Amino acid sequence: MKRDLLRLVDLARDECTALFALAAEIKAALRSGKPEHLLAGKTLAMIFEKPSLRTRVSFETGMFQLGGHAIYLAPWDIRLGERESVADVARNLARVVDMIVARTFRHEVLVELAAHATVPVINGLTDLHHPCQVLADLFTLVEQRRRLDDIRVAFVGDGNNLVHSWMEAAAVFRFTLAVACPAGYEPDAALLADCRARGARIEITRSVIDAARGADVLYTDVWTSMGQEDEAAERRAHFKDYQINDEALRHAAKDALVMHCLPAHRGEEITDAVIESRQSIVFDQAENRLHLQKALMAWLARESGT
């Protein structure tokens, strides 16, 4: 039976742990000059409705390093759901490629794509979830010798797709997630309830300091995501006090790590001093998108028999 990754809870805890181990192995092999061609002869279709730097480059490079080939499909190439139905696009691609990664606006489009594709489908980002980013973040924390069950993660900013995947990660690994956000920008209520029902410890607060107090990880994202450009001025007003800065860092644990999924708007959600500090592991996260996603593709191919 084929496996997809549409949201983080599609993976069990032991499967996540196995992914982290495989990612470490793949990363070490690459650095030793002996990359593992685990997907030789395989092809990845990359459907992108949104612009991308890290997601596109890491998947395309990763597939090449695994011995395979990636095909980038921009919004104007297929006009998903317009020129052809989502179901027909899925059926056509599944006849000629071995795996699909999609970066879409509506999460429902990704779900429909996976329902009709007979090959694994990976969520490269939707408006509701961003599992590849958070899996890479968790792998980065494991590299930093952080015990995932014991940590406190403070997220400062919008309760967006990234937060939704962090909430699901808290349900899988049972760490504490504190989200500091303005009123009206909370995470999706149904997803929050679902994650809490799965055992996640999630706090929602208006105070950056309350969230940051004793935190092992301080995390943030841009105030205005793709597709929200018309709200930029309003969001800047609402989020002006929701910043990771020296004060927030002082309230966190002494060895707290600073994370950001990038791109960063320095001076808005994070100060330049903090993102450039010794506690920042922002670019380790960015690199680990490559290694974790390589592991994910190899694992999904193996599990699905493709």
Check if the beta carbon of residue 215 is closer than 8 Å to that of residue 189: no
The number of C-alpha atoms within 13 Å of 102 and in the hemisphere containing its C-beta is 31
For the annotated catalytic residues, the residue numbers are 103, 130, 133, 221, 261, 289
> Which range has the worst mean pLDDT, 31-35, 81-85, 234-238, 272-276?
81-85
Q: What is the pTM of this model?
A: 0.97
Please give the average per-residue pLDDT across 134-159, as a whole number: 96
At 6 the pLDDT is 98
pLDDT > 90? residue 83: no
Q: How far apart are CA 125 and CA 288, in angstroms?
A: 16
At 105 the pLDDT is 93
The model's pLDDT over 99-144, given as tens digits with 9 standing for 90+, comes to 999 999 999 999 999 999 999 999 999 999 999 999 999 999 999 9
**DSSP symbol at 171:** H
List Cβ neighbours of 94 (8 Å cut-off, separation of 6 or more).
Answer: 100, 116, 117, 118, 119
At 35 the pLDDT is 86
- Give the CA distances from residue 141 to residues 47, 134, 135, in Å, rounded to whole numbers and listed in that order: 29, 10, 10
pLDDT > 80? residue 81: no
- Lateral strand order in the sheet of 257-260: 201-205, 176-180, 152-156, 217-220, 257-260
At 76 the pLDDT is 83
Q: Residue 67's Cα: distance from chain center in Å?
A: 24
Q: How far apart are the first and last CA of the chain?
A: 10
Of all residues in the chain, what percent carry a pLDDT higher than 90?
A: 90
Backbone phi, then psi, for 266, in 5-degree steps? -60, 135
Check if the beta carbon of residue 141 is closer than 8 Å to that of residue 217: yes
The model's pLDDT over 259-284, given as tens digits with 9 standing for 90+, comes to 999 999 999 999 999 999 999 999 99
Structural domains for the chain:
8-130+289-304 (3.40.50.1370), 145-280 (3.40.50.1370)
Q: How far apart are CA 169 and CA 129, in angstroms?
A: 11
The model's pLDDT over 10-52, given as tens digits with 9 standing for 90+, comes to 999 999 999 999 999 999 999 999 888 999 999 999 999 988 8
Q: Residue 107's Cα: distance from chain center in Å?
A: 14
